[in-house]
A and B are shown apart, each in its own frame.
Chain A
Amino acid sequence: MRKSTNQKAWWLVAPVLLLVAFNAFIPLMTVVNYSLQETFGDNVFFWEGVTWFEQVLRSERFHASLLRQLLFTSMILAIEVPLGIAVALSMPRKGPWVSVCLVLMALPLLIPWNVVGAMWNIFALPDIGLLGYSLNSMGFDYNFTQQPVSAWMTTVVMDVWHWTSLIVLLCYAGLCSIPDAYYQAARIDGATGWAVFRYIQLPKMKRVLTIAILLRFMDSFMIYTEPFVLTGGGPGNTTTFLSIDLVKIALGQFDLGPAAAMSLIYFLVVLLICWVFYTLMMRNEAQ
């Protein structure tokens, strides 16, 4: 039987195409547009080719913030992942304390980013903040507004406080899905606590943990509000991470071309790292 061609069905796809266009494609293309041209306003553009990309990639300022960003993300991942797993493992799996623990864990996640920044800012102020004042009265020389190390420590601790819960909750969900029979079998097989973790709990948590690490990587790599409210990127440039730097270039200096080029590079870096990480984790799975 010959099928008659009817192209009208394409109209049914139109709403989705429009939605995707307005929410992803057009904004992205605007950025691409800016990254390849120079403008002085009045909607007048001059073709620049890849000049802005070269400039950004060669700029020491970009290297420095990228390095700070990588360092920050590695630090928080190195702390939050083991800590999150440890907390999830020590949470009760049944009984009345389960809901108490879950609510306590979820609390930091419910606080808006800028509120977290403001809370920690006040909390850590060396003269009136509880943390800052206590540290100083215990003899530590602590001032996050002036010392880079203090500023970094405060930023990292703030992120750990805010986001470890996410890893805890995801890992906890993974742990809860392990049937009792596995633990019983492990006891029968004479497995030690470490072996139970290594061969039962960790493999069962692997998928959720992969997602948790991906989420934490992306979020921390794009972190803006909390350090902006806490330190404003300072002292000096010491806590100026990629997003803060990008905003400074785009809105502070109004260098739209370099800012657009930097956004694209930034985006590609995030995409690349996520892809590599996910592929590695999943290839292991397939074997």
Chain B
Amino acid sequence: MSRIEFKDVRHAYPQPAGQPQEYALKEVNQVWENGGAYALLGPSGCGKTTLLNIISGLLTPSEGSILFNHDDVTRLPTAERHIAQVFQFPVVYDTMTVFDNLAFPLRNRHMPEARVKERVTEIAEMLDLSGRLHQRAAGLTADGKQKISLGRGLVREDVNAILFDEPLTVIDPHLKWQLRSKLKELHQQLGVTMIYVTHDQVEALTFADKVVVMHDGTVVQVGTPVELFSRPSHTFVGYFIGSPGMNVLPCSIENGHPVFANNLLSSGYRADTDLSGKLEIGIRPEFVSFSDDGIPVAIEKIEDLGRYQVVTVRHESEQIKMLISEDEPIPAESPMISFDPDNLRIYCDDWAVETGDA
């Protein structure tokens, strides 16, 4: 097991001649602590899988280096990195039995057969595969096959980390939850570093201690689920996490405080006055409420989600979503809204402005 570090890693896939080089990964500096449960969260095409394949050595980055426990492994072949990886679609060796599938990585590494048997039995027990060890792997259902893929990673005693590339995509919804809690359980049991790629925020937030949000080839924020929710450091994190996502509204700054719709808003901190660039405020729908004075809006739509209702309101050209509890009344005439100052954040060119306490 080890600590994995990325130093200035950039990667570009080869382009057809004549097309400009485009980086799928635009400089990543990141440390994965030993034994952590990480989720890599981001939309399709943001570079998650590229990053994962660079860790396992299936890809060699165009620039930068990867360190395992301070040793440079950038050029080390996959087999020598001791990384296990589970792919989106289950990979099983069709002609082999479940037992042989699980034993495959061990036999390839010339482990004595008695020890192989011991390990496989142990792991099969953990994954509830014991009863099917001598069945042909090809005959199993998708979740059974995915368990085998996972098991092939777990049997190895020397793995530095287990990587999951959207492993639950092909699994039935009711089994997804089961397998996810299994993973969490295995993580606690084995204490091995796990990195879990997904574009599903619920999956990421339930699985991981730390979520790494990626956007357009860069890591935009690393944090606990609570941090990502309450202090998104990039407007993208605001949009992507939470449902509905954060409201991002254009603003100007006066005396360190944001002004939106001619309203001087107070925020929990003062921003530098000499900000230049695109200025915006971010406020989560949870922290927008109706009030007696504030910003006049028109109500566009009310969606009832059971315990909550999502109200879409509009001020001039800006649409604002608000999340209020089921029993809260909605003003019928000239509604006005206000923002909770403690949860109002200022963004300059999409990045959070973090200076100066109020």
Contacts and interface: CB of A to CB of B under 8 A. Distances in A.
Interface of A: 179, 181-182, 184-185, 187-192, 195, 199-200, 203-204, 287
B152 interface: yes
A185 B109 contact: no
Given A181-B89, A185-B85, A185-B149, A190 B95 contact: no
Given A181-B88, A181-B89, A187 B95 contact: no
Contacts of A181: 87-89, 91
Nearest to A200: B93
B84 A188 contact: yes
Contacts of B85: 184-185, 188
Interface in B126-185: 136, 149, 152-153
Contacts of A190: 79, 105, 108-109
B95 to A, nearest CB: 5
Given A187-B79, A188-B56, A199 B93 contact: yes
B79 A185 contact: no
Most-contacted residue by chain A among B58, B96, B149 (CB, 10 A) = B58
Contacts of B91: 181-182, 185
Instruction: Categorize the interface residue count of chain B.
Output: 20 to 34
Nearest to B109: A190
Contacts of B105: 188-190
26 contacts: A181-B87, A182-B91, A184-B53, A184-B58, A184-B87, A185-B87, A185-B91, A185-B149, A187-B58, A187-B77, A187-B79, A188-B79, A188-B83, A188-B85, A188-B152, A189-B104, A189-B105, A189-B108, A190-B79, A190-B109, A191-B108, A192-B108, A199-B96, A199-B104, A203-B94, A204-B94
Contacts, number: 53
A287 B79 contact: no
B34 interface: no
Interface in B252-297: none
Contacts of B343: none
B53 to A, nearest CB: 8
B89 A179 contact: yes
A199 B138 CA distance: 12
Contacts of A188: 56, 58, 78-79, 83-85, 105, 152-153
What are the 5 tightest A-B residue pairs by CB atom distance, in nearest-first order?
A185-B91, A189-B105, A190-B108, A190-B79, A187-B78
A204 B88 CA distance: 19
Most-contacted residue by chain B among A179, A181, A195, A203 (CB, 10 A) = A181
A53 B125 CA distance: 64
